[in-house]
Each structure stands twice: as structure tokens, then as C-alpha cells.
Amino acid sequence: MKKSFSLVGVLVVFLLSVQPAIGSNPTIVGEISGVELCPQSACGAAIFTGTCDCKVNNLHAVGFFWVAVQHAPLPDPFFSSPIFAGNWNLTTLMGNFSGDVLEGSIFNNNDNTFTVTARLRLEKGGTGDVIVTGLLDHNDFPPTFEGQLVQPEF
């Protein structure tokens, strides 16, 4: 009996972790640009802030963002590490949006840059998911991030 409860528990955890991404409502897309304020090794999460040239429901909405992500150690060249938790906030002229970082990956490009992809769950100001993709550059100090907010593809 105990074994069957364990198997059911593993199955539930697996099913929850593979939730399909659903587009956000409102729709949020745009370009983001920022800097790393604090590395995970010092702050318990990698913390970034910057600006967003966004569209919310197809209306132009400039704004500011911050994100704190927790991830496995940075990967060796040509390998990935998972992003497994975090929080984010986007403040625009069209409203305030925030939620959790659900998952993602960091790929080492072997030139002191990393390709980052993460799924952001919108929990305040709307519902659904926004995907962030971009380039984390560790060649300068402080490290910079340039990327895009896009809707999940179905």
C-alpha cells in the first residue's frame, strides 16, 4: 500500500511539472534589456532589472522589470543547466504584472555568453504564461541581458 502511494505521488509530481504553456491574458510581448544586480552565489537568486519596450494586448507599453531566478550551477561549454524557480515583475504604462518563474534553461555558448529561456507564469494582472528568451552576456561587468517576451507556441 505504501509503495502504491509513493508511485501515485511520483506520477502527480511528474504531471504537474509538465503542464502545457498557455498564452497570457493580457497578451504581453516585447523586447527587454537589463543588467544582473546580484549573482545567485551572493543573493540566493540571480537578480536582474531593466527596461521593457512592450506591447500589452497590442498597445505600446514601455516599462521596467525585475526578476529573481534560481538555477543549477552555470553549465560547462555547450551544455545546459535548469532554471527551477523564481519571481518576476513587470510595471508598464498598461499595468503591473507579476508571478513565478516556473522553469527554464541556461545554455553555455562557449564565449562567456549564455542563451536563456524561461517560462513565466502570470499570476497578478492576468493569467497564463509568457516566455522569455535572450542572451546573458558575462563578458562585461555587470553582466547584461537582452531578450524578448513572447507568447508560447502551441
Give the span between the Cα atoms of 128 and 99, in whole angstroms. 10
Question: Where residue 27 sits, what CATH number does that domain have?
Answer: 2.40.128
In a domain, 94, yes or no: yes
In a domain, 11, yes or no: no
pLDDT of the residue at 50: 98
In a domain, 106, yes or no: yes
> Which pTM value belongs to this model?
0.83
- Chain mean position to CA 48: 11
Backbone angles phi, psi at 120, to 5 degrees: -105, 125
pLDDT of the residue at 22: 79
In a domain, 82, yes or no: yes
Backbone angles phi, psi at 8, to 5 degrees: -65, -40
In a domain, 13, yes or no: no
In a domain, 87, yes or no: yes
In a domain, 73, yes or no: yes
In a domain, 3, yes or no: no
Contact 59, 90 (CB under 8 A): no
Give the span between the Cα atoms of 32 and 63, in whole angstroms. 9
pLDDT of the residue at 138: 96
pLDDT of the residue at 98: 97
Domain count of the fold of the chain: 1
Q: What is the pLDDT along the chain (154 residues), one digit of tens a residue?
A: 444 333 333 333 333 345 567 776 889 999 999 999 999 999 999 999 999 999 999 999 999 999 999 999 999 999 999 999 999 999 998 899 999 999 999 999 999 999 999 999 999 999 999 999 999 999 999 999 999 999 987 6
Supply the range of the domain harboring residue 49: 22-150
What is the 3-state secondary structure of the chain?
Answer: CHHHHHHHHHHHHHHHHCCCCCECECCEEEEEEEEEEECHHHHCCEEEEEEEEEEECCEEEEEEEEEEEEECCCCCCCCEEEEEEEEEEEEECCEEEEEEEEEEEEEECCCCEEEEEEEEEEEECCECEEEEEEEEECCCCCCEEEEEEECCCC
pLDDT of the residue at 20: 63
